[in-house]
Structure 1
């Protein structure tokens, strides 16, 4: 059997979250303008909803810049990281990477996992490929590195969410401390599912997530208490 990492598998029997109501199917409109990003976009949103209004930079957001808020919509343009960004910052071969992220993100939201609501994506021709934008629902909160001090309950929420990803077999290679949002009323939301995909059964993802977050926390100069949340000690 061929394994497709972007097909959302059935929930495991031990899934701890209550599944939510399915989202509306996406409707796509062509040659639209996105506020602050110009025209020529193919926009896919629930029911083909238009995105209109004044744009504002999303305050407090980490990332490679250009994240905008329009009403309840957050627009995150796709940007490459690493050394490749110096050669090709925003052009991708096809739109399938954007569609795949939305599919995984949608599956998580409908499963009741603590994340922001996915609202679609858009793309337009750029050079020999396409550039893209991801849409999510705005959620109040601070990124974990903005406030390292966590209550015991909040720390358990983060541990619980990562453990649940391992149980379902979902590997998110871009999971950084900056992608953990702390809402004002408690809990923790996990953001950014670019390149995330479901692994074949039996893969132990716990050590991989621990190493990934350990690198992120160490790079950010996190205190020992933050490393303890993921079961790590400060690196020498």
Structure 2
């Protein structure tokens, strides 16, 4: 149960994943407590994010930050619509559901929000995924050997589950050190959708992000890679169970 908070209460309010419900602490979200050991993450997403280490092990701390036109009003504040609608609460709950379904996402630790009248700020703490590189870097390094098929099969697993990623770009698709694929940055993500046109739209969004920052990779090379990705996706969607 998520307790309501009065508008004048600016203290931190935690929403922890089940495994951390009695152990999560608000001070874990204070970047200054980590000092020089908080390593900024320089690429991907709008949020301020750092690699951190604490009682939770190796983690990623992300403070939510606005983009687009609304960022002109405030980069960190969102309209308060109740605790259940706080971005950190929704992302923790979604990540827990995806982890429970066996899908490759970062395990959530906790979220926190701070009320400020009609507005609020929020942050999220997740377990750190051992990463080799993101898809953008892998394509730039060697477009022919990039893990196109693995990405396609992994996307099919999410789509079969009905998990919609609202910002599927090449920085949010990571290859782990064990060779597997993980999807990150599930802010505003949802689940429970029947597979449909939205799946194709997500893949098209991923392709646009690759083409936007393709550097020396030609459109033809990118098209060949995406054709491999789509073929693997179609095969996995048609199978009895998407490849793990």
Specify if TM > 0.5: yes
Q: Which residue of 2 aligns with 1:68?
A: 50
Change (3 A) 1:127 1:214: farther
Are the equivalent residues in 2 in contact too, given 1:172–1:193 (CA < 8 A)?
yes
Q: Distance in 2 between matches of 1:101 and 1:145?
A: 24
TM-score normalized by structure 2? 0.70
How far off its partner does 1:119 sit?
1.2
How far off its partner does 1:202 sit?
5.4
Q: Which residue of 2 aligns with 1:78?
A: 64
Q: Which residue of 1 aligns with 2:39?
A: 57
- Matched position secondary structure for 1:177: coil
Q: Which residue of 2 aligns with 1:120?
A: 110
Are the equivalent residues in 1 in contact too, given 2:143–2:225 (CA < 8 A)?
no
Change (3 A) 1:200 1:68: closer
Change (3 A) 1:86 1:127: farther
Q: Which residue of 2 aligns with 1:88?
A: 74
TM-score normalized by structure 1? 0.72
Are the equivalent residues in 2 in contact too, given 1:79–1:90 (CA < 8 A)?
yes
Q: Distance in 2 between matches of 1:207 and 1:44?
A: 33
Number of residues of Structure 1 aligned to a counterpart in Structure 2: 199
Change (3 A) 1:69 1:181: same
Change (3 A) 1:137 1:110: same
Residue correspondence of structure 1 range 101-140 to structure 2 within 5 A: 101-126=91-116, 128-140=118-130
Q: Distance in 2 between matches of 1:60 and 1:129?
A: 27
Are the equivalent residues in 1 in contact too, given 2:134–2:174 (CA < 8 A)?
yes
Gaps of 5+ in 2: 230-244
Q: Distance in 1 between matches of 2:172 and 2:228?
A: 18
- Matched position secondary structure for 1:181: strand
State the Cα deviation string for residues 108-166 of structure 1 (Å, max 9, x = none): 11111112111121100235311100111012212222232367683222111111222
Q: Distance in 2 between matches of 1:60 and 1:182?
A: 17
The answer to which structure has the higher helix fraction is 2
